[in-house]
């Protein structure tokens, strides 16, 4: 009985020594892990916008990081999912570092087709989570919720009353005052504003366009001049406004006048 | 067999007592130093996880038991202390198993640490210690009986 008992005693001792050593080194190791977030890189095509976030995991600890899972979820003001991205790294061995490029893609057109985002400042909610298994034994998870401000590119878009002036015996000059502010920090509003003028019989009287290039936080004010056939002008009518830029297309905005 | 013969010499003498006492003190000192190092390492996690209160009580009790186990070596009291000690460890880890899923918020970041698997391993260790203590007690009683029988045979 003595030999097995001694063996068992030693086994128990070893067990506790290993458990204690593991607990101590594990806590110490965690303090040696460094996570650095690099500058996000934004790539946008006609349809998609991809934000690449470089994350450097510097595992200076004694144990490996396994099953590293980075997930980001972007939702809009109505809590609808805009984008969800996941990056999975099988493991980061001890005394090693891993650079992860986490790509978040979303369809800009889907955002831009919603009038709300064109004319109103808003916020997107970004939920990020990192899950990992430390030392193959202790699951760890981090979660962060933050808001991404969205600036409306056509903030406070207003049109004034159209002014009709005689140009010559055949034509009249119509001036439509328009103003807006570009609140978007992500892009300039570069493109054209087109207007079409109709009479009350829905006949096109004239159309014209003006080029704009409005940087972030700038206000644009202008009068769009259109020559219309004086014979076809009626007391009441309709003005249709289109905005066509590199990033979005909007229109028609219908304004009844008279 | 050596142990059985040795058992005869487990008499209470001042020299024996002092030797056990110093051994017990040494074990307690080593235990305390280890706990001190562990506490120092846990400083960065202070405020995140309130491990201190329960763990300090456990360590104090563990060191007290270690002291008395060493002091009462060779008697049944040693085994009583040993069994109580291992049961206490199992009980402590079972009690804190629920708190093994730690959720804390540090500056907008929600941190979740799942220590339940690790705690389960420690419970297993406690059960192993308990089994060892029980077997030691059985062995001790067996040896005592053997000694008594041998004494009876000799006296015949």
pLDDT digits (tens, 9 = 90+) for A136-182: 889 989 898 888 888 888 999 998 888 888 888 888 898 999 999 99
In this structure, the strands spanning A138-150 and A122-134 are: antiparallel
Helix then strand then coil, % of chain A, to nearest 5: 15, 60, 25
Q: How many structural domains are present in chain B?
A: 1
Mutate to test the interface with B, among A139, A145, A147 (most CBs of B within 10 A): A139
pLDDT digits (tens, 9 = 90+) for B58-109: 888 889 998 999 888 888 899 999 999 999 989 988 888 777 788 878 777 8
Interhelix angle B116-155/B76-96, rounded to 10 degrees, is: 170
Other CB atoms within 10 A of residue A108 CB = 19
- Which of A119, A158, A151 lies closest to A241, judged by CA? A158
pLDDT digits (tens, 9 = 90+) for A195-249: 999 988 888 888 999 999 999 889 999 999 998 888 888 888 889 999 988 888 8
Pick the residue from chain A with its C-alpha nearest to B34.
A20
- Chain A residues with CB within 8 Å of chain B CB: 1-2, 5, 8-9, 11-12, 15-16, 19-20, 23-24, 27-28, 31, 137-146
List the domains of chain A with CATH numbers. 32-150 (2.60.40.10), 155-257 (2.60.40.10)
Read off the pTM: 0.69
C-alpha distance from B118 to closest chain A C-alpha (Å):
7
C-alpha distance from B17 to closest chain A C-alpha (Å):
23
- Quick one: how far is CA A11 from the chain centroid? 57
Pick the residue from chain B with its C-alpha nearest to A141.
B112
**What is the C-alpha R_g of chain A?**
31
B residues 37-96 closer than 8 Å to A (CB): 37-38, 41-42, 44-45
Pick the residue from chain A with its C-alpha nearest to B109.
A144
The ipTM (two decimal places) reads 0.78
Residues of chain B with C-beta less than 8 angstroms from the C-beta of A61: none
- Which of A187, A149, A213 lies closest to A46, judged by CA? A187
CA-to-CA distance for B136 and A1, rounded, in angstroms? 9
For A1, B81, B92, the CA distances from B77, given in Å and listed in that order, are 20, 6, 22
pLDDT band at B5; cut points 50, 70, 90: very low
CA-to-CA distance for B55 and B77, rounded, in angstroms? 25
Per the structure, the complete domain to which residue B55 belongs is given by: 2-155
Instruction: Please give the pLDDT value at position B2.
Output: 42
CA-to-CA distance for B44 and A60, rounded, in angstroms? 17
């Amino acid at each position: 009985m003595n030999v097995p008992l001694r063996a068992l005693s030693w086994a128990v001792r070893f067990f506790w020594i290993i458990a204690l050593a593991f607990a101590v080194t594990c806590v110490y190791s965690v303090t040696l892990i460094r996570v650095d977030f690099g500058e996000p890189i934004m790539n946008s095509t006609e349809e998609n916008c991809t934000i690449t976030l470089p994350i450097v995991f510097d595992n200076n600890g004694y144990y490996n990081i396994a099953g590293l899972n980075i997930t980001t979820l972007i939702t809009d003001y109505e809590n609808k999912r805009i984008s969800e991205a996941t990056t999975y790294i099988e493991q980061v061995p001890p005394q090693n570092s891993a650079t992860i490029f986490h790509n978040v893609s979303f369809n800009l057109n889907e955002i831009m087709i919603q009038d709300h985002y064109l004319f109103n400042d808003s916020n997107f909610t970004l939920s990020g989570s990192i899950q990992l298994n430390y030392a193959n034994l202790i699951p760890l998870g981090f979660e962060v919720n933050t808001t991404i401000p969205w600036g409306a590119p056509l903030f406070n878009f207003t049109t004034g009353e159209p002014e009709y002036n005689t140009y010559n015996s055949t034509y009249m000059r119509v001036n439509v005052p328009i103003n807006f502010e570009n609140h978007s920090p992500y892009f300039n509003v570069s493109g054209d504003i087109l207007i079409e003028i109709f009479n009350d019989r829905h006949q096109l009287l004239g159309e014209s366009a003006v080029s704009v290039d409005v940087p972030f936080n700038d206000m644009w004010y202008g009068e769009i001049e259109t020559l219309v056939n004086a014979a076809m002008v009626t007391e009441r009518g309709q003005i249709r406004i289109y905005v066509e830029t590199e990033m979005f297309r909007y229109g028609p905005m219908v304004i009844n006048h008279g | 067999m050596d142990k059985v013969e040795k058992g005869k010499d487990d008499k209470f003498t001042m020299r024996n007592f002092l030797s056990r006492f110093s051994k017990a003190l040494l074990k307690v000192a080593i235990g305390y130093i280890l706990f001190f190092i562990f506490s120092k390492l846990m400083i960065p996690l202070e405020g995140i996880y309130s491990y201190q209160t329960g763990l300090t009580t456990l360590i104090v009790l563990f060191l007290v038991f270690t002291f008395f186990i060493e002091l009462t070596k060779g008697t049944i009291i040693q085994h009583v202390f040993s069994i109580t000690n291992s049961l206490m460890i199992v009980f402590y880890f079972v009690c804190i198993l629920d708190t093994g899923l730690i959720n804390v918020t540090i500056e907008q970041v929600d941190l979740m640490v799942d220590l339940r698997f690790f705690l389960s391993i420690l419970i297993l260790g406690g059960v192993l210690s308990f089994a060892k203590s029980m077997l030691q007690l059985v062995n001790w009683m067996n040896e005592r009986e053997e000694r008594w029988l041998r004494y009876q045979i000799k006296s015949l």
